[in-house]
Amino acid sequence: MERLQKYLSRCGVASRRHAEQMILGGRVCVNGRIIHEMGVQVDEARDSVTVDGKPVLPSPDKVYYMLNKPQAVVTTCEDPQGRKTVLDLLPKELRIYPVGRLDYMTEGLLLLTNDGELANRMAHPKYKISKRYLVFVRGFLTDKMIQTLQRGIALEDGPTMPAKLELLERDASQSTFYLTIFEGRNRQVRRMCEAIGLPVLRLRRVQVGFLQLGDLPAGKYRPLTVKEVKQLRKLLCGQEGPP
């Protein structure tokens, strides 16, 4: 027996958190009964689970992809406003979903998988997975601002953790730098830059943990290599085999 949301995430339907939202939204049935509450346990061998009327079965093969998300694409799987989603850039038969989020106008490295457990761990603050961004801002980034961004800056949802900044160029009109952060709050980099008075002109995620975007063109995707998957499992699960 296992908790319904865990089963859904293991089957590649959604991350555990998103699965909980699906349950609360009345989209999940167990043996024909709509489930509205948390805490229901299911037995894979005996219970029949559906989401939006479609049967949910364990997916034996876990797959891991990296996408170079272009600007003007939403990271969610469906968009009520009908905008292009990251899933529109991938083959339909791949039942995978994004790990974490990039804003509509943020470009760069996005991981997608049907491995709900690994996706949960990637997003969990405990693992402090680094995210490296190439940031273009309007205005001159002073040494004092660099220190502020690195040490931590007060945002409305609390101070940011120490970050690492590598300056590439700066002049009166524009500054460019790499910023590595170890948490993943909503619009975090944009809000950090807004807080020092320099609006973001362009934002690209170039690295997540040890995974690098490299020269993957915008809008293209590739499976992670066997070596990358092993390394990822080692990082998040302390082992190379399945979590």
Which positions touch ligand URA (CB under 6 A)? 102-103, 106, 187-190, 203
Rounded CA gap, 19 and 10, in Å?
A: 10
Non-local CB neighbours of 1 within 8 Å, separated by 6+ positions:
41, 42, 43
Q: Which is nearer to ligand URA, 3 or 187 (CB)?
A: 187
Q: Which is nearer to ligand URA, 189 or 198 (CB)?
A: 189
| Angle formed at CA 67 by CA 65 and CA 70, multiple of 5 degrees | 165
**39, 3 Cβ separation under 8 angstroms:** yes
Q: Catalytic pick from 103, 157, 171, 215?
A: 103
Q: Which is nearer to ligand URA, 12 or 108 (CB)?
A: 108
Q: In angstroms, give the least distance from the CB of 106 to ligand URA.
A: 3
Q: In angstroms, give the least distance from the CB of 156 to ligand URA.
A: 14
Active site residue 103: yes
Q: In angstroms, give the least distance from the CB of 169 to ligand URA.
A: 20
Rounded CA gap, 147 and 165, in Å?
A: 9
Non-local CB neighbours of 3 within 8 Å, separated by 6+ positions:
38, 39, 40, 41, 42
Known catalytic residues?
103
